[in-house]
Amino acid sequence: MKNFFNERAIELNQGAIRSLFDRVKYFPEAINLGIGEPDFDTPKEIVEEACQALRNGKTHYTPNAGIIELREEIAKYLSSINVSVDHNKEVIVTTGGMGALSLALLVLLSPGDQVLIQNPQWLNYISQVKFFGGTPVQVPVYEDNNFKIKAEDIEKRITNKTKVLMLNSPNNPTGAVLDYEDLKSIAEVVRKHDIIVLSDEVYSTLLYDGTKHCSIASIEGMKERTIIVNSFSKSFAMTGWRVGFASGPEEIINKMVILQENLVACINSASQYAAVKALGVFENARKMAEVYRKRRDIVVDGLNRIKGISCYKPKGSFYAFPNIKELGKDSQALSDELMDKAGVIAIPGSAFGSQGEGYLRISYANSEENLKKAVERINAYVHDLC
Ligand code: PLP
């Protein structure tokens, strides 16, 4: 049979960490710090709300943009971060953050349009952009700037084909958080070159040490050129519900709604009611963030006590990105050895882009007990190496 795939599908490959996860099943005793999802179950009242909605007959299609109650709650959340939106025209409920990213890229990109993405970056950005016809252009970030993307590095890579800048703060995989000053300088560059920002804020409630979330959309002149992407997955431990949202300029959101109608019609009804409840009881997100903060300290302080490893203390998300350069091994080799010989699964930094070489990504969405054990195991393994 001839090959019926189009060129983009032929190029479509599974993520760089897939082979690592395929091997995990052979190491059932290993502590898995590779997974990027909350270990908590969804808070009970959120689950109950969804059950109740189903019992009450909320089993039908919803508006393509999402139920109005949820869009209202989303608008309230956005106003709490100083972004005021019209829930009727500037908000769409999507299939997780991924659904929002896909819809936005699909309505924006023409073949050859360039999209600026930081390196290292979350695995799916590059693959999505390529599949949707765009050309990813990578902007390196550096540990000596706490892994924060710099306006000048962005500007150097702008060409007449640049259309979109993707930002992700708090960041996966580095945990970096962009503050108002960082975003203000980026905003200047973006306005000067007439670029649209896709601001992925799915870790916006996972912030530590008094850090406050700042969205680039809250900076003057930016709301009209920013699409905020957010999700219930990480903040409310709702990965399996597949509910997220985007907000942005009316004409872009409108196109995304029409596309959503054509692709999936709407997000499943019960998840949307659950999400209304999630935003109504925001305290859950704050409590979980406090637990992650403690875990971060266990992991980062523990790693910093290991000779040959140093770890920047991230201000957000639930990832640590320790520097392993002094150990004299590349990140893939160290990750393989930690799995085979130490019983700890950590993702090689190189999986997130060339700038990730020399680092590991360690997720601390795991119990304190496991995290302490994992740090001890890494310590013992590295000690034997030296
Ligand atoms: N953006 C980033 C940076 C992520 O790390 C993830 C998930 O890991 C997502 C978006 C998508 O999350 P979801 O589609 O579950 O909302």
* Strand bridging mode 162-168 / 196-200: parallel
Give tens-digit pLDDT for 185-200.
999 999 999 999 999 9
Q: Average pLDDT in the 322-326 region?
A: 97
pLDDT tens figures, 133-164: 999 999 999 999 999 999 999 999 999 999 99
**Predicted local distance difference test score (pLDDT) of residue 236:** 96
Q: How confident is the model at residue 284 (pLDDT cuts 50, 70, 90)?
A: confident
Give whole-number Cα distances, 95 to 191, 240, 317, in Å.
Answer: 30, 10, 20
Q: Is the pLDDT of residue 203 over 70?
A: yes
Q: Does the beta carbon of 121 lie inside 6 Å of ligand 1?
A: no
231 lines ligand 1 (CB under 6 A): yes
The answer to whether residue 35 scores a pLDDT higher than 90 is no
Neighbours of 159 (CB within 10 A): 10
Question: With 90 as the cut, is the pLDDT of residue 23 above it?
Answer: no
Lowest mean pLDDT among 18-32, 133-147, 170-184: 18-32
pLDDT, mean of residues 170-187: 98
Can you tell me the distance from the alpha carbon of 151 to that of 223, in angstroms, rounded to the nearest whole number? Answer: 18
CB atoms within 10 A of CB 151: 16
Question: Is residue 314 a contact partner of residue 320, using CB atoms and an 8 Å limit?
Answer: yes
DSSP 83-101: ----TTTSEEEESHHHHHH
Ligand 1: which of 172, 242, 245 to mutate, judged by most atoms within 8 Å of the beta carbon? Answer: 172
Query: φ and ψ at 270, to 5 degrees?
Result: -60, -40
* DSSP string of 321-385, one letter each residue: --B-GGGTS-HHHHHHHIIIII-EE-EEGGGG-GGGTTBEEEE--S-HHHHHHHHHHHHHHHHHH
What was the pLDDT predicted at 315? Answer: 96
Q: Is 34 in the pocket of ligand 1 (CB under 6 A)?
A: no
Kindly report the number of other CB atoms within 10 A of residue 309's CB atom.
21
Residue 385: predicted pLDDT: 77
**Rounded CA separation 163/106 (Å):** 13
Helix or strand (DSSP H, E) at 302: helix 283-304
* Residue recorded with tokens 């082979």: 19
What is the 283 CA–ligand 1 centroid distance (Å)? 21
In terms of Cα–Cα distance, which of 320, 295, 304, 286 is closest to 207? Answer: 286
Q: Which amino acid is present at 99?
A: G
Q: Which residue has the tokens 């509910």?
A: 243
Query: What would the mean pLDDT of 289-296 be, rounded to a whole number?
Result: 96
| pLDDT higher than threshold 80 for residue 386 | no
Question: Residues 57-64: what's their mean pLDDT?
Answer: 98
53 CA from centroid of ligand 1 (Å)? 26
Ligand 1 centroid vs 98 CA: distance in angstroms? 6
Structure tokens at 122: 């979350």
Residues in the chain: 386
Ligand 1 atom 8: residue of nearest CA: 36
Q: Is 233 in the pocket of ligand 1 (CB under 6 A)?
A: yes
DSSP type of residue 316: B
Question: What confidence tier does 32 reach under pLDDT thresholds 50, 70, 90?
Answer: very high
Once rounded to an integer, what is the mean pLDDT over residues 211-224? 97
Distance CA 271, CA 58 (A): 10
Q: What's the half-sphere exposure (Cβ side, CA atoms, 13 Å) at 316? A: 26
72-86: b or e for each residue (b if 16 or more CB lie within 10 Å)?
ebbbebbeebebebe
Q: How remote is the CA of residue 242 from the centroid of ligand 1, in Å?
A: 10
pLDDT of residue 205: 96
The pLDDT, as a whole number, for residue 52 is 98
The amino acid present at 41, given as its one-letter code, is: D
Residue 263 CA to its chain's centroid (Å): 23
Q: Is the CB of 125 under 6 A from ligand 1?
A: no
CA dihedral 99→321→367→382, nearest 10 degrees, is 140
Assess whether the C-beta atom of 202 lies below 6 angstroms from ligand 1: yes
For 147-188, give the DSSP string: T---HHHHHHT--TTEEEEEEESS-TTT-----HHHHHHHHH
Specify the pLDDT at position 16.
67
Average pLDDT, the chain: 95
Q: Which residues of 347-383 are buried (b: 16+ CB within 10 A; e: fewer)?
A: bbbbbbbebbbbbbbbbbbbeeebbeebbebbbebbe
